[in-house]
């Protein structure tokens, strides 16, 4: 079977940049780059049996920004490859682009079977109840996708595939519940097939460094931060990679001097992470690593950070979220603001750069912006980012805040737009968030 995997383009919406004062604009993030690890995982599962191609629309647009627009590139790929199955992935802000992809695939090749998976279908499958979508897969879906493609090959109906939502009588309905328990971090782990991004890997850079790739050491998160989508998607469960499997994967990444851990939190189990750091250090694998670590992990486990520095940890992305304890409590972030300062000290003592991120809630007034700016100016992080509190569709937080939502355009659910009602005039609120980006500037962007 010919399977075309399509990585959707980025959402074009960035209201922080749109309203930022000219001085701050150059520092507002406009894009994050990196390989689509989920699709590369699916490719590994499919490839021994099927002819698989990847159209990496983020990478292609970065490689040739002046080239054809994303849908024209998809049209060419569909005409040239004539796939039997088109599969794509979506986070909230990429949902509209994902639907455009599947609509074009259906209109161009009416016989093609279309399927979507990833975080947004997992959290709110109803967003994909569209005549262009034949099937929706929730969760870590490599085994289900394999079954689906096998069924298509055998000419069997999609309704014969377990654990899938399919279009039946005009609506998405579950097929038989799956009896399979998927452990995508361990038993059902597939090594992402990075050969499919060879063409665009030069676009995966971190500032001047790269090419960079992703690996994950864990899936899921135990914490319950209100704004995060990971715990609702994984029911608060965490599964860890086997250390030998991860070290082996790292040892195979000859083309990538920079590796970012794509974990929700790279230290769900500090003891495990310490063993992983030691295993990497003694394996002879030499990389510059980037991890997402919590401030309270660093303040409580300074020796762990030293071990990570010894194995190559160079940059940490740290969700500070707020400098005020009452706001941290509101976000259900189980950490104290004082941990931030302690953590930054620990990271810097180990020579690790810190990119801290603050969340700005829509009820901020001028005084709050000034207090945050004063705090951030006095703080020695290498780079700070400021995003807007956003209730991600399909999460309990979205249901809680539903009555305050003023914008339902999913392309705007990317933490860079304001979808909730503000207390300040909206344009002033956005301009003030944009202004914060001028406070600190470093020479790298992650
Ligand atoms: C790596 C990453 C990225 C990469 C994605 C590369 C790409 N796809 O092109 C980059 C850096 C580009 C990125 C960008 C952004 N990201 Co991001 N990112 C992540 C991160 C850290 C890891 C994702 C990952 O690789 N997981 C591991 C893989 C193996 O799992 P997976 O992708 O879920 O895939 C599995 C299943 O979902 C399923 N599956 C997935 N797709 C499909 C398709 C089919 C057909 C099937 C059957 C199954 C299936 O099977 C896969 C294999 O098991 C997550 C946080 C996290 N830890 O998950 C945030 C996260 C996904 N990102 C997020 C956000 C908000 C963004 C940005 C919008 C941020 C911003 N404001 O700039 C941007 C968007 C683009 C931009 N503006 O540049 C949010 C999404 C929230 C939401 N509800 O939408 C997350 C959850 C972070 C968070 N905690 O809030 N991101």
pLDDT over 90 at 208, yes or no: no
Q: How far is the CA of 37 from the centre of ligand 1 (A)?
A: 8
At the topology level, CATH places domain 205-436 in TIM Barrel (3.20.20)
Averaged pLDDT, 23-29: 93
Give 206's strand partners.
209
Q: Are strands 2-7 and 85-89 parallel, antiparallel or unpaired?
A: parallel
pTM for the whole structure:
0.96
**CB distance 31 to ligand 1 below 6 Å:** yes
Q: What is the pLDDT of residues 227-252, one digit of tens each?
A: 999 999 999 999 999 999 999 999 99
Question: How much of the chain exceeds pLDDT 90, in percent?
Answer: 91
Ligand 1: distance of its center to the CA of 264 in Å?
A: 10
Residues whose CB is less than 8 angstroms from the CB of residue 48 and which lie 6 or more positions away in sequence, other chains included: none
Q: Which residues contact 341 (CB under 8 A, 6 or more apart)?
A: 379
Measured N-to-C along each axis, helices 302-311 and 270-283 cross at an angle, to the nearest 10 degrees, of 30
Instruction: Assess whether the C-beta atom of 416 lies below 6 angstroms from ligand 1.
Output: yes
Q: Are 322 and 328 in contact (CB under 8 A)?
A: yes
Cα of 292 vs centre of ligand 1, distance in Å, is 14
Alpha carbon of 324 to ligand 1 centroid (Å):
28
Binding site membership of 422 for ligand 1 (Cβ less than 6 Å):
no
Say how far apart CA 84 and CA 111 lie, in whole Å.
7
Task: Decide whether any atom of ligand 1 lies within 6 Å of the 369 Cβ.
Answer: no
The beta strands (E) that lie in 241-279 are given as 258-261
Ligand 1 site, residue 392, Cβ cutoff 6 A: yes
pLDDT digits (tens, 9 = 90+) for 365-390: 999 999 999 988 887 787 899 999 99
Q: How far is the CA of 91 from the centre of ligand 1 (A)?
A: 6
Is the distance from the beta carbon of residue 410 to the nearest atom of ligand 1 less than 6 Å? no
Domain boundaries, the chain: 2-21+35-174, 205-436
Residue nearest to atom 57 of ligand 1 (CA): 264
Q: For ligand 1, is residue 9 a contact (CB within 6 Å)?
A: no
Is 369 within 8 Å of 322 (Cβ atoms)? Answer: no
Pocket test residue of 10, 57, 89, 231 for ligand 1, highest count of atoms within 8 A of CB: 89
Residue whose CA is closest, atom 18 of ligand 1? 262
CATH code: domain 2-21+35-174 is: 3.40.50.280
Residue of 45, 91, 292 to mutate, ligand 1, most atoms within 8 A of C-beta: 91
Protein residue whose Cα sits closest to atom 66 of ligand 1 = 414
Contact 25, 434 (CB under 8 A): yes
Please state, rounded to an integer, the average pLDDT across all residues of the chain.
95
3-state helix vs strand vs coil in the chain, percent to 5? 40, 15, 40
Other C-beta atoms lying within 10 Å of the C-beta of residue 388 = 24
pLDDT beyond 50 at 46: yes
Model confidence at 446: pLDDT above 70: no
Q: Could you tell me if the CB of 145 is within 6 A of ligand 1?
A: yes
Nearest residue to 272 via CA among 310, 313, 318, 217? 217
Q: Is the CB of 140 under 6 A from ligand 1?
A: yes
Query: 440: pLDDT confidence band, cut at 50, 70 and 90?
Result: low
The answer, yes or no, to whether any atom of ligand 1 lies below 6 A from the CB of 87, is yes
């Amino acid at each position: 079977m010919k399977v075309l995997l399509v990585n959707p383009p980025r959402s074009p919406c960035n209201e922080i940049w749109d309203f930022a004062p000219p001085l701050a604009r150059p520092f507002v993030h406009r894009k994050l780059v990196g390989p689509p690890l989920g699709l590369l995982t699916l490719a590994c599962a499919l490839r021994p049996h099927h002819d698989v191609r990847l159209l990496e629309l983020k990478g292609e647009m970065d490689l040739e920004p002046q080239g054809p627009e994303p849908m024209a590139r998809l049209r060419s790929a569909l005409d040239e490859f004539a796939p039997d199955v088109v599969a794509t992935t979506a986070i909230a802000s990429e949902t509209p682009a994902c639907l455009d992809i599947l609509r074009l695939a259906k209109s161009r090749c009416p016989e093609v079977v279309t399927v979507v998976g990833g975080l947004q279908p997992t959290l709110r499958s109803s967003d994909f109840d569209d005549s262009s979508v034949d099937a929706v897969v929730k969760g870590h879906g490599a085994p289900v996708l394999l079954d689906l493609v096998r069924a298509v090959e055998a000419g069997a109906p999609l309704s014969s595939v377990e654990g899938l939502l399919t279009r039946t009588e005009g609506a998405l309905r579950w097929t038989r519940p799956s009896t399979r328990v998927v452990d995508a971090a361990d038993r059902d782990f597939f090594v992402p097939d990075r050969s499919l991004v060879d063409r665009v890997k030069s676009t995966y850079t971190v500032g001047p460094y790269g090419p960079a790739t992703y690996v994950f050491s864990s899936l899921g998160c135990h914490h319950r931060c209100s704004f995060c989508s990971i715990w609702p998607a994984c029911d608060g469960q965490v599964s860890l990679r086997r250390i030998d499997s991860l070290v082996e994967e790292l040892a195979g990444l000859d083309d990538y001097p920079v590796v970012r851990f794509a974990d929700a939190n790279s230290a769900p189990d500090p003891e495990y992470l310490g063993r992983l750091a030691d295993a990497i250090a003694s394996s002879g694998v030499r990389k510059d690593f980037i991890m997402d670590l919590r401030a309270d992990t660093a303040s409580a486990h300074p020796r762990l950070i030293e071990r990570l520095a010894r194995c190559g940890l160079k940059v940490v992305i740290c969700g500070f979220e707020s400098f005020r304890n009452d706001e941290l409590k509101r976000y259900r972030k189980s950490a104290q603001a004082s941990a931030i300062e302690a953590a930054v000290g620990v990271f810097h003592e180990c020579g690790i750069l810190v990119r801290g991120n603050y969340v700005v809630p829509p009820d901020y007034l001028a005084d709050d912006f000034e207090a945050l700016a004063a705090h951030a100016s006095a703080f020695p992080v290498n780079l700070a980012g400021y995003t807007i509190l956003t209730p991600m569709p399909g999460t309990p937080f979205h249901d809680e805040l539903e009555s305050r939502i003023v914008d339902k355009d999913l392309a705007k659910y990317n933490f860079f737009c304001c979808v909730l009602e503000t207390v300040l005039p909206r344009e002033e609120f956005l301009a003030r968030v944009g202004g914060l980006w001028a406070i600190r500037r470093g020479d790298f962007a992650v």
